Amino acid sequence: MEDLKLELKHKIIEVLNLEDVAVEEIKDTDPLFGGGLGLDSIDALELIVLLDKDYGIKLADPKKGKEIFQSIDTMAKFIEENRTK
Amino acid sequence: MGHKIAITGMGIISSVGNNVEENFISLTTGRHGISEIQMFESRHAGHIKTGEIKQSNEELVQHLQLNEDNNVTRTSLLGMIAAKEAVENAGISDINAFRTGLISSTSVGGMDITEKYFYNYEDFPEKQKYIDAHDAGNSSLAIADYLGLKGMVSTISTACSSAANAIMMGAKLIKNGVLDRVIVGGTDSLSKFTLNGFNTLMILTDSYNTPFDQNRKGLNLGEAAAFLVLESDEVVKKEDKKVLAYLSGYGNANDAHHQTASSENGQGAYLAMQQALKVSGIDKEEINYINVHGTATPNNDLSEGIAMIRIFGEGNVPEFSSTKAFTGHTLAAAAGIEAVYSILAIQHGIIFPNLNFKTPMEEFNLVPVTELRKKNINHVLSNSFGFGGNCSTLIFSKP
Amino acid sequence: MSSVYINGVSCISVQDTLAEDFFGQFKPENSVPIVKAIEPAYKEFIPAAMIRRMSKTVKMSSVASHYALKEAGIEKPDAIIVGTGMGCSQDSEKFLKNVIDNQEEFLTPTYFIQSTHNTVAGQIALALQCHAYNFTYVNTSSALEFSLLDAKLQLTDDEAENILVGSTDEQTERTMELYQLRHIIKKTEHFPVDFLTSTTKGVLWGEGSSFFVIGKNKTENSYAQIRDIQITNKLEQQETESFIEAFLVKNNFSLTDIDAVILGFSGDQESDTYYKTAINLFPESALLYYKHLSGEYNTASGFSTFMACHILKNQQIPEIMMINSIKKNAIKNVLLYNHLLGNDHSLVLLEKV
């Protein structure tokens, strides 16, 4: 799980083009949206695609993303439970 | 008081008809144009339906009798057909007889060809002529050339409000005496690029779009072109032209909320409608019909509904319908085709139905007109809202 | 038509036009087919959360518009009008590449959203929280001129007091390759090129962003007045003279009244003939060219308009821009004539304030 969390932090920085953010700055329980990173609904769509492309999880309802992407913790937990890749 | 601009001609091609007459028949017989994708290859064919025009580029080229060595893309081909009909409808025999301009609009430009060959043009020397035709401005130059027009030609690209803005700008040029006559409107063809772009935003429905319905799932894309001919009062008088309708009001405002989503209280939409009413000098109670933007996305219809209530008052919103269930959302052309439909509504005293509607939205008490309804229509308000917060409203009036 | 005033200007280009003393620092380009703009440190102007999504054209426009507004002392303009030929081509290309490479799967929205032509105008409005009129013109070569015309009409109709008008275009690698394939851009073996006497096809391609604040009233800072604008989609060679003459007559000017003429010589032999014809009309005027400094692109006239403003304000013409050596005692007006490879011809008449 710890590996997955670290992997997620790297991927988020890459996919969302967060050039100035270091992996250490993203805490596991920090809110991803509405927090310091300044992510918005377009980023949520990007993360939905990430779930599909890298972990084989298809999210039909974009509104579910709100719960899943609350923090690195919630994201990692959801992926562990649902990944097909 | 407002300054009305005369509309003396119109032309259109869409998935429900190749000209004004055919479009009218479809609208009055409830025949929509949403179908499976057949004219281009896509992974989404069979899953996502569109308002596709069932004519290939080759067929369009033949119809227009263009030279074999042309480099005209689909967007321009559709534009030529509609612009030609508009010019003929306006009884124009010598397009350069007066100071004439063309303001077209597009978001796709030449992308339907570009996306086929972009990475391997080197292997297709006979297709390389299309490299010159990719940019948006080229489509307007191509349409102007086809019409034999020499004058002020411009292209607007503000996403889904584009054609409304083209119409607005044409009116301003006539009002200020810069031009005597302007052909205004827009054109967009379908393309894999656009289809996939909208798909990534998760605002496409996998079925038929249901504007203003509680259970709406998103839009169907479409392709179309439509143009109006605007003429100054002097030309109308001199040439004894029949006026189809007047453009009596217009307004453009920016939501400044988000790149693609509309604000909750529909501020941009509200400001655009307010401005259009102000310019027209018409009281809001006199609006008989609203052709709403009504794309059937969760976001637009809510935001637009709220803005209409803010303008007209709870319980006082005029009868309205979205014609996008017929044609799909034709992007830059949308405001153009809906301008034609608004004028048809005035001419024939008919409100076209908002197809596929079943359940009113929870948030407010707005129910669109769902059956063809006869009604004397003096003034129509038409909304078009695009990405980048670009909100435009036009008001058409009976002559 | 009554005049309106250019009260703030800013330009990002192949030259270091953001610098204070750019006037004397020009480095002409004539040896490579493609030249890139000199970019500022964007982080100083744009928050990181926003920069991450912006393509070059959006970033350049953000900075240029910021400076123009600042100079004019305007926080929120009454309208925002932007002209661009290719729009946001970098993001457009990135999305297209993804569509093709991934066969329409695993696509993300960011590049698509950023690819719409009106992204620049939309982003500026968002940053300023400006709800006003917002248009984007995408003419092949006259987008800036049409934007200026739109602004002028609104100002003289009392629909606005101050309008932000700009033009911007960026390059992409692949489009440059295709333009070279098409000989729109010169072949490498045709360099170095003499812009004024070129015997080969094609141009040198640049990029840049120019923004102006146009106001109803003049200020202490005003650069110039916009007297009139004329645009036509095409012109036969033999119509060039009458096109220019009619424009001047309409504005009560004779040919000899014009102090300086800025011509868009691009190095493309065939289409530069229009400018050669124009030269013959103005034997007593200072003649200038600029695309050896800015490169050719759909909105290259943003650079010349920017330069015309400085020339009128400072009453000085950079030597590097001179075609002839006529020096006027006073530069009361400047006529700009431009087109792109024979498409979209425009004339702009500016006067000293």
C-alpha torsion angle, residues B172, B177, B179, B183 (rounded to 10): 40
Catalytic pick among B293, B348, B379, B391: B293
- Contacting residues of A for B200, CB less than 8 Å apart: 45, 49
B329 is a catalytic site residue? yes
Q: Do B158 and C136 touch (CB under 8 A)?
A: yes
Short-list B9, B50, B53, B5, CA closest to B336? B9
Q: Beta strand pairing status for C4-12 and C224-232?
A: antiparallel
**Residue B178 near chain C (CB below 8 Å):** yes
Q: What class is the B251-397 domain?
A: alpha beta
Model pLDDT for residues C145-202, shown as the tens digit of each residue: 999 999 999 999 999 999 999 999 999 999 999 999 999 999 989 999 999 999 999 9
How far apart (Å, rounded) are the C-alpha atoms in residues B98 and B149?
Answer: 11
Short-list B299, B245, B292, CA closest to B273? B292
Domain annotation for chain C: domains and CATH numbers: 4-215 (3.40.47.10), 225-351 (3.40.47.10)
Model pLDDT for residues A61-73, shown as the tens digit of each residue: 778 888 899 999 9
Distance from CA of C53 to the nearest CA of A (A): 7
Structure tokens, B230: 């605007």
Q: Do B254 and C134 touch (CB under 8 A)?
A: yes
Beta strands in chain C (DSSP E): 4-12, 79-83, 133-137, 162-169, 208-215, 224-232, 260-263, 286-289, 333-340, 343-351
Nearest CA in chain C to A52: C106
Locate the domains of chain A by residue range. Answer: 2-82
Fold of A2-82: 1.10.1200
Nearest CA in chain C to B170: C150
Helix intervals (H) in chain A: 2-15, 41-55, 65-68, 72-82
Q: Do C126 and B259 touch (CB under 8 A)?
A: yes
Residue C7: predicted pLDDT: 98
Q: Do C123 and B259 touch (CB under 8 A)?
A: yes
Q: Do A49 and C113 touch (CB under 8 A)?
A: no
Residue C258: predicted pLDDT: 98
Residue B1: predicted pLDDT: 44
Average pLDDT of the residues of chain C: 96
Model pLDDT for residues C241-285, shown as the tens digit of each residue: 999 999 999 999 999 999 999 999 999 999 999 999 999 999 999
Model pLDDT for residues C51-61, shown as the tens digit of each residue: 888 999 999 99
How far apart (Å, rounded) are the C-alpha atoms in residues C10 and C160?
Answer: 21
How far apart (Å, rounded) are the C-alpha atoms in residues C165 and C65?
Answer: 8
Any bridge partners for residue B380, and if so which? Answer: B289, B396
Q: Do C234 and B386 touch (CB under 8 A)?
A: no
Is residue B82 predicted with pLDDT exceeding 50? yes
Q: What class is the B5-238 domain?
A: alpha beta
- Contacting residues of A for C48, CB less than 8 Å apart: 18-20
Is residue B361 predicted with pLDDT exceeding 80? yes
Query: Which chain C residues in 318-347 lie under 8 Å from chain B, judged by CB atoms?
Result: 343-344
Q: Beta strand pairing status for B379-386 and B289-291?
A: parallel
Structure tokens, C242: 């009458």
Interface test with C, best of B116, B156, B169, B221 (most C CBs within 10 A): B156
Rg for chain C, CA atoms, rounded: 19
**Residue B284 near chain C (CB below 8 Å):** no
- What mean pLDDT comes out for the span B37-47? 95
Structure tokens, A28: 């596991």
How far apart (Å, rounded) are the C-alpha atoms in residues B153 and C239?
Answer: 17
Query: Which chain C residues in 248-277 lie under 8 Å from chain B, judged by CB atoms?
Result: none
Please indicate whether the domains covering B5-238 and B251-397 agree at the CATH topology level: yes
pLDDT confidence tier of residue B269, bands split at 50, 70 and 90: very high
Distance from CA of A6 to the nearest CA of C (A): 21
Locate the domains of chain B by residue range. Answer: 5-238, 251-397
Model pLDDT for residues C135-144, shown as the tens digit of each residue: 999 999 999 9
Q: Smallest Cβ distance to B200: which of A40, A41, A45? A: A45
> Is residue C353 within 8 Å of C312, Cβ to Cβ?
yes
Residue B2: predicted pLDDT: 57
pLDDT confidence tier of residue B160, bands split at 50, 70 and 90: very high
Please state at what angle helix A41-55 crosses helix A2-15, rounded to 10 degrees. Answer: 130
% of chain C residues with pLDDT over 90: 92
Nearest CA in chain A to B260: A42
> Is residue C342 within 8 Å of C239, Cβ to Cβ?
no
Hey, is B110 helix, strand or coil? coil
Model pLDDT for residues C82-123, shown as the tens digit of each residue: 999 999 999 999 999 999 999 999 998 899 999 999 999 999
CA atoms within 13 Å, Cβ hemisphere of C297: 37
- What mean pLDDT comes out for the span C45-66? 91
Q: Do A49 and B202 touch (CB under 8 A)?
A: no
pLDDT confidence tier of residue C1, bands split at 50, 70 and 90: low
Residue A42: predicted pLDDT: 84
Structure tokens, B265: 């209280």
Residue A19: predicted pLDDT: 80
Residue B388: predicted pLDDT: 86
